[in-house]
């Protein structure tokens, strides 16, 4: 993998409070906020260690710039499809900002050498930034690694010992930036802001799939069509996530089922698309359909009652989450929003300007 250190901007906590008001202003009006001088530039190119603690779970990763050619050469792989409208949005945002305000998260295999090096660097380096956001149980801490010898170690480690990465968060950023750079003819100068995490430093949640049926199809017909595609169908009063089972909620009804004749090697999101979305709901292209919506399921069951009440008549499907090993070993591209990786890095914690602007 070809990574490079870079000149980063970090929020200046002497000038701002990193709170909900600042965060929303940053997301909606980045250029205005940036021009107010509330970010400080680090004058030496560096790598950055990030540690995220979320509800007691600690994850450590490395923030770098990564050359787009690694994506084009398939060293960095997408594991799920992108949504067309989101690609357009990311392209517009990048064109407007001329900056990357959040790293794309990349999942790599177990790498004890990297984790040992990051642990030692944290011990002998004072953190440059620590933010508790959005609440006291979540913290983001950053260490600046700018010594030439340490930069060389990390660069060489990735060049010789990291040969594959999976995009955990940032599919749309990779797609839009690679297209932009290809069109501009600046691929040799193109890099993307990235954060690498080993598989033991990440976990996978998912998204609820909220589906609107065709008006010409009755509720009874929908349930009958699903039952023909499944086994172990039963009405339930509560949801307890179990491996292999899918849950369906619609209005006050709850059901649990398994899909019939699913190959062990085929991950459940693919089987769900093949057996339920197309045949039952007539959705043959998830990337463009306006009848399927997604809600983050990081707090699974706590959201369901609220989602059901706010989506009357719609069908809410709960698929059990995949594992990091599922994603690393999977051979096929999954449908959109098959995974929700944790930890998530907040916008504006570290900013990199578009490296092609001055090339």
Beta-bridge partners for 210: 293, 316
163 and 255 belong to one structural domain: no
* Residue 111 dihedral angles phi and psi, to the nearest 5°: -145, 85
Asked if the model's pLDDT at residue 297 lies above 90, the reply is: no
> Which range is most confident: 165-179, 266-280, 343-357?
266-280
200 and 214 belong to one structural domain: no
What average pLDDT score do residues 181-199 get? 80
The pLDDT tens digits for 60-95 are: 999 999 999 899 999 999 999 877 676 666 667 777
Tally of CB atoms within 10 A around 26: 22
Per-residue confidence band for 358, with pLDDT thresholds at 50, 70 and 90:
very low
CA nearest neighbour of 20 among 150, 99, 138, 116: 138
Residue 327 domain flag: no
216 and 286 belong to one structural domain: yes
29 and 177 belong to one structural domain: yes
Beta-bridge partners for 249: 254, 316
pLDDT-above-70 percentage for the chain: 92
State the Rg of the chain over Cα: 22
Q: What pLDDT does 201 receive?
A: 96
Residue 271 domain flag: yes
197 and 107 belong to one structural domain: yes
**Domain range for 68:** 3-204+342-353
240-269 per-residue burial string, b: 16 or more CB within 10 A, e: under 16: eeeeebbbbbbeeebbbbbbeebeeeebbb
Q: Following DSSP, what letter does each residue of 320-355 receive, concatenated?
A: PP--HHHHHH--SPBPTT--EEES-PPTTSSBEE-T
Residue 308 domain flag: yes
67 and 154 belong to one structural domain: yes
Asked if the model's pLDDT at residue 357 lies above 60, the reply is: no
Residue 333 domain flag: no
Residue 10 domain flag: yes
Residue 325 domain flag: no
Considering the chain, what is the average pLDDT of its residues? 89
Grouping H, G, I as helix, E, B as strand and the rest as coil, residue 216 is: coil
10 and 110 belong to one structural domain: yes
230 and 144 belong to one structural domain: no
List, in sequence order, every beta strand (DSSP E) within 55-119. Answer: 57-67, 76-77, 99-100, 104-108
Q: Following DSSP, what letter does each residue of 135-175 receive, concatenated?
A: STTEEEEEEEE--HHHHHHHHHHHHHH---EEEEE-HHHHH
Query: How many separate domains does the chain show?
Result: 2
Q: What pLDDT does 190 receive?
A: 85
166 and 226 belong to one structural domain: no
> Would you say 16 and 38 are in contact if contact means Cβ atoms under 8 Å apart?
yes
Q: pTM for the whole thing?
A: 0.90
CA nearest neighbour of 48 among 149, 146, 133: 146
18 and 54 belong to one structural domain: yes
Beta-bridge partners for 197: 107
Burial class, 231, CB count within 10 angstroms (exposed 0-12 / middle 13-18 / buried 19+)? exposed
Residue 335 domain flag: no
The pLDDT tens digits for 138-189 are: 999 999 999 999 999 999 999 999 999 999 998 888 888 787 777 666 656 6
Residue 334 domain flag: no
- Measure the CA–CA gap between 176 and 3, rounded to whole angstroms: 20
153 and 295 belong to one structural domain: no
180 and 257 belong to one structural domain: no
């Amino acid at each position: 993998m070809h990574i490079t250190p870079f000149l980063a901007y970090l929020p200046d906590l002497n000038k701002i409070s990193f709170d909900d008001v600042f965060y929303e202003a940053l997301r909606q009006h980045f250029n205005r906020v940036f021009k107010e001088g509330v970010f400080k530039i680090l004058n030496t190119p560096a790598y950055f260690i990030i540690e995220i603690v979320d509800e007691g779970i600690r994850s450590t990763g490395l923030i770098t710039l990564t050359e787009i050619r690694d994506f084009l050469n398939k060293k960095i792989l997408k594991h799920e499809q992108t949504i067309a409208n989101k690609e357009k949005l990311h392209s517009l945002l990048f064109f407007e900002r001329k900056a990357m305000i959040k790293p794309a998260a990349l999942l790599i295999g177990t790498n004890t050498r990297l984790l040992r090096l990051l642990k030692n660097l944290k011990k002998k380096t004072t953190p440059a930034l620590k933010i508790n956001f959005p609440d006291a149980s979540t913290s983001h801490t950053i260490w600046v690694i700018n010594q030439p010898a340490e930069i060389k170690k990390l660069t060489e480690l990735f060049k010789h010992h990291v040969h594959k990465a999976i995009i955990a968060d940032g599919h749309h950023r990779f797609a839009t930036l690679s297209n932009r750079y290809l069109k501009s003819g600046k691929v040799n100068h193109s890099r993307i802001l990235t954060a690498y995490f080993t598989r033991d430093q990440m976990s996978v949640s998912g998204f609820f799939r909220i589906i609107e049926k065709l008006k010409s199809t009755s509720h009874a017909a929908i349930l009958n069509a699903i039952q023909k595609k499944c086994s172990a169908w039963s009405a339930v009063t509560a949801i307890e996530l179990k491996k292999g089972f899918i849950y369906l909620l619609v209005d006050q009804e709850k059901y649990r089922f398994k899909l019939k004749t699913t190959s062990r090697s085929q991950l459940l999101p693919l089987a769900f698309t093949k057996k339920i979305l197309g045949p039952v709901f007539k959705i043959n292209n998830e990337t463009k359909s306006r009848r399927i919506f997604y809600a983050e399921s990081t707090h699974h069951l706590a959201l369901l009652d609220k989602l059901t009440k706010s989506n009357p008549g719609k069908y809410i499907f709960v698929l059990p989450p995949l594992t990091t090993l599922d994603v690393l070993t999977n051979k096929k591209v999954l449908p959109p929003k098959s995974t929700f990786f944790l930890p998530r890095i907040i916008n504006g914690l570290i900013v990199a300007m578009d490296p092609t602007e001055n090339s």
